[in-house]
Structure 1
Amino acid sequence: MKVTLIFALLALVAVCPGRQTAQADTGLPPLQTVQQVDLKRYLGQWYEIARYPNWFQKGCLESSASYALRDDGDIEVLNRCKDSEDGRQRQAKGHAWVVDNASNAKLKVSFFWPFRGDYWIIELGREYEYAVIGTPNRKYFWILSRTRSMDDSLYAAILQRAKQQGFDPGLVVRN
């Protein structure tokens, strides 16, 4: 229980609006998302392939996220990882909701009310086999897959496209 609470609090602080700089401060063009997301296809289990290092996932191995539709139409989030020191499972439960109904590609996620952060789907495999998530200030970045691994050529192509969007491939850590 203590590990779960700590993981949830870390996730909370990470999505706190005061912790992120506004996109206008980055000097970068607006972050482009995918044109359309079918949320029903997006739900389910995802495995983290790579990410920008962030303090709330420090010591996390084998990170994954599970998304499920809630009765109110929003999305239940369950993030899990294995602690690198003791091997115990850490998890954080959250809540996500769409903020751009035209595309369903821009969401907010909260692990502790009233704090929330951006979750923008900037790339998505044709068959929803992978997804790339970023934030408009380019501070957070994840590559997710339906499987625990990803082909090296696909991974390299994703990083190249992310670079064109203002993300730094040199900061990405692959699992």
Structure 2
Amino acid sequence: MGVSKGSVFRAIALTAVAAGVAEAVSGCAVSVPKGIEPVTGFDAERYMGTWYELARIDHRFEKGLIRTSAHYSLEEDGSVTVINRGYSEEKNAWKESEGKARFLGEPDVAALKVSFFGPFYGGYNVVSLDDDYQTAMVIGGSFDYFWLLSRSKSIPERKFRQLLRIAQNLGVDLSRVMVVEQ
């Protein structure tokens, strides 16, 4: 019994699709950007709760949103539930998304991967955190992702500028950073 051309082409196509999916998934491997050191001695329980976004590099998933915040909850299995929220003036509505974060290694190192879309993860690296867990800077899996977070909706201007200088010294392009209206 012979093999038809159609079945050969289907087999080749399916192999190509499977290879593409495998490449895409492996391409989603999360690592810490070169030159970045996540905070060590990290206390996940102290980090939990609500953080307000004071500045960010804008992306399509946050485009046009103001009054943005993130709420983190530590789960029994060590993962973190993340609820991001922001207000769209254009749509006169709140936008909310829920995700799950997991530590890349030990939980005392603030290097995590977070997913809002199934098996696809992005980096979440806390690179600066004050001793009182009141302000934090986060860089994603690359320098295209940056957030300056605070427990309060505003901080003194001097502290804000100091944190942006630290971000710049880490390699963040401040010309891409926008201040978030809270």
Place the TM-score, normalised by the shorter chain, in its bin: 0.7 to 0.9
Report deviation, 1:90.
0.5
- Per the alignment, residue 59 of structure 1 pairs with 64
Task: Tell me how far apart the structure 1 counterparts of residues 26 and 131 of structure 2 sit (CA, whole Å).
Answer: 32
- Counterparts in 2 of 1:69-80, with a 5 A limit? 69-80=74-85
Displacement of 1:45:
0.5
Structure 2: how far apart are the matches of 1:168 and 1:115?
26
> Structure 1, residues 102-127: CA drift from partner, whole Å, max 9, x if none?
63310000012210000000000110
In structure 2, stretches of 5+ residues that fail to align are 1-24
Aligned equivalents of 1:132, 1:41: Cα separation in 2 = 15
1:17/1:117 contact within 8 Å kept: no
Whichever of the two has the greater Rg, that structure is 2
Find the aligned partners of 1:19 and 1:98 in 2 and give their Cα distance: 15
Matches within 5 A, 1:93-132: 93-101=98-106, 103-132=108-137
Root mean square deviation, CA, Å: 2.3
- TM-score if structure 1 supplies the norm length? 0.81
The count of residues paired between Structure 1 and Structure 2 equals 156
Unmatched 5+ residue regions in structure 1?
1-15
Superposed CA offset, 1:122-170 (max 9, x none): 0001100011000242110000000011111111111111111111112
CA contact (8 A) 1:39 1:104 kept: no
- Contact 1:17/1:115 (8 A) holds in 2: no
Partner SS, residue 78 of structure 2: coil
**Secondary structure, counterpart of 2:86 in structure 1:** strand
Determine the C-alpha separation between the residues in 1 that align with 2:38 and 2:80: 19
In 2 relative to 1, CA 104–95 (structure 1 residues): closer, same or farther, beyond 3 Å? Answer: same
SS of equivalent residue, structure 1 residue 143: strand
Instruction: Check the 8 A contact 1:47/1:146 in 2, yes or no.
Output: yes
After TM superposition, list the pairs within 5 Å mapping 1:3-152 onto structure 2: 29-101=34-106, 103-152=108-157
CA distance in 1, matches of 2:170, 2:116: 27
What amino acid sits opposite 1:95 in the alignment? K
Distance 1:61 1:128 in 2: 23
Identical aligned residues as a percent: 34
Deviation at 1:23, TM superposition (A): 7.6
Deviant stretches of 4+, over 4 Å: 16-20
